[in-house]
Amino acid sequence: MMLRWFAAVAALACSTSPASPYFDTGNSLYELCQNPRTYPICLGTIIGHYDMLLANGYDCGPDNQRTKQQIMDIVVKYLKDNPAERSDVAALATYRAMTAAFACKQIPKG
């Protein structure tokens, strides 16, 4: 079972797609999120983006009131509703989705 999962991930990583300066574009993330087999990769990628947003000094409100699934749903909906932006880096889509949904603001250093 694990070997099949690994083979599927390897196949996705090696699939032919247009060259991109990013590891993940909005298109590749959206594609991962549409396939139940790659759901864990989609979720992990989006939560990693969100964690990095917080680690870079952004405040998105009370995190104890939202779930990982909710965060993923918001990003997937954003990608669905904004297909013209899917060629951008995937992390940028997460940033835009979270900023719109939760009014994330950068905390001033000082």
pLDDT in tens, 18-63: 555 668 899 999 999 999 999 999 999 999 999 999 999 999 998 8
Q: Report the predicted TM-score, pTM, of the whole model to 2 decimal places.
A: 0.78
Tell me, yes or no, whether 64 lies in a domain: yes
Residue 50 near residue 71 (C-beta atoms within 8 A): yes
Residue 16 lies in a domain: no
| Residue 65, pLDDT score | 83
In a domain, 90, yes or no: yes
3-class SS at 45? helix
* Number of domains the chain contains: 1
List, for residues 51-68, the tens digit of each pLDDT value.
999 999 999 998 888 999
89 falls within a domain = yes
Quick check: is 15 in a domain? no
**Residue 6 binned pLDDT confidence (cut-offs 50, 70, 90):** very low
Residue 7: is its pLDDT beyond 60?
no
Q: Is residue 8 part of a domain?
A: no
CATH code for the domain of 72: 1.10.890.40
- Token code pair at residue 65: 């009131």
Instruction: Please state, in angstroms and as integers, the Cα–Cα distance from residue 109 to each residue in 4, 54, 56, 83, following that order.
Output: 47, 13, 11, 34
Q: Containing domain of residue 44, as a range?
A: 24-106
Contacts of 9 (CB under 8 A, 6+ apart): 38, 41
